[in-house]
Structure 1
Amino acid sequence: MFSMILTYSIQTIVILLIIFTVLRNNRKKIGQGSLSLLLSLLGMAVSFEFGDYIFGDQLLSFLGMSAWSNPVNNTGFHYTIFVSSIFFIPSLIIGYKNSEDFGALIGRRVSSIYLFIIIISLLFFIISCLSK
């Protein structure tokens, strides 16, 4: 447990150092478009698994909802996709509207990739349900 926490702490510190270095060398202004990057990072944090901990599952549990369509054995459709979409869709819109701001381009691209993967996953899930 301690090694896992240490590993994630080191990764977080390295990511923050990279972000601060990029910000120091930044030529673009930080504005509303920068929120696109922040929202895409939050969307990724909701959907990633950190060891046995998934922030999106814990958030749904806190709200009194199940994270899976079949909560008995955690199978079926994983509702965390919708929670992450709550962050990715506004990130995509903000990134397009304020594309000249720092982080808007990367936030828009990350959100586009994740939303594409979510849509493809939904299509596969629907096809698998219909084929039964």
Structure 2
Amino acid sequence: MFSMLLTYSIQAIVILLVIFTVLRNNRKKIGRGSLSLLLSLLGMAVSFEFGDYIFGDQLLSFLGMPAWSNPVNNTRFHYTIFVSSILFIPSFIIGYKNPKDFGALIGKWISIIYLSLIVISLLFFMISCLSE
């Protein structure tokens, strides 16, 4: 319950940061660094739950892969974490290398926040598996 509340709170904060950054008076050019924002938004979309619909689950299903390590009752490890990581890692690298382009800075910070949460979640998952 706590991890779900934390995840939704951070996602809401990140969305607000993106909105406020876009609304500010922008004088930066659109370039390669702008891909950082796009990739980070796609990474967030993969991990969002829209009612009973999770885009990452549908994407994995389309590729013929299970979304959970125990697909019978959707428990254990959720594989969409890897799909979102595939999007967040390049987003961070692009934002780091092109900081002067539009959206690069916020894309880099979104990626840092989400990748940190993914690493922390993986650590908690490994600890819980060891204690069983």
Alignment correspondent of 2:38: 38
Measured on the aligned residues, the alpha-carbon RMSD in Å equals: 1.9
Alignment correspondent of 2:116: 116
C-alpha deviation, 1:25, in angstroms: 3.3
C-alpha deviation, 1:108, in angstroms: 0.3
Alignment of 1:6-25 (within 5 A): 22=22, 25=25
C-alpha deviation, 1:26, in angstroms: 1.6
Give the Cα separation in 1 of the matches to 2:24 and 2:60: 37
Aligned residues: 115
Alignment correspondent of 1:59: 59
Alignment correspondent of 1:98: 98
Give the Cα separation in 2 of the matches to 1:28 and 1:90: 21
SS at match of 1:26: coil
Alignment of 1:70-89 (within 5 A): 70-89=70-89
Identity of aligned residues (%): 85
Alignment correspondent of 1:107: 107
SS at match of 1:76: strand
* AA in 1 matched with 2:103: G
* AA in 1 matched with 2:130: L
* AA in 2 matched with 1:55: F
C-alpha deviation, 1:23, in angstroms: 7.0
SS at match of 2:27: coil
Runs of 4+ in 1 over 6 A off after TM superposition: none
Q: Which structure 1 residue ranges, 5 or more long, are not aligned?
A: 1-14
Higher Cα radius of gyration: 1
Alignment correspondent of 1:126: 126
Give the Cα separation in 2 of the matches to 1:60 and 1:22: 31
C-alpha deviation, 1:22, in angstroms: 3.6
Report the TM-score when normalising by structure 2.
0.82
C-alpha deviation, 1:49, in angstroms: 0.3
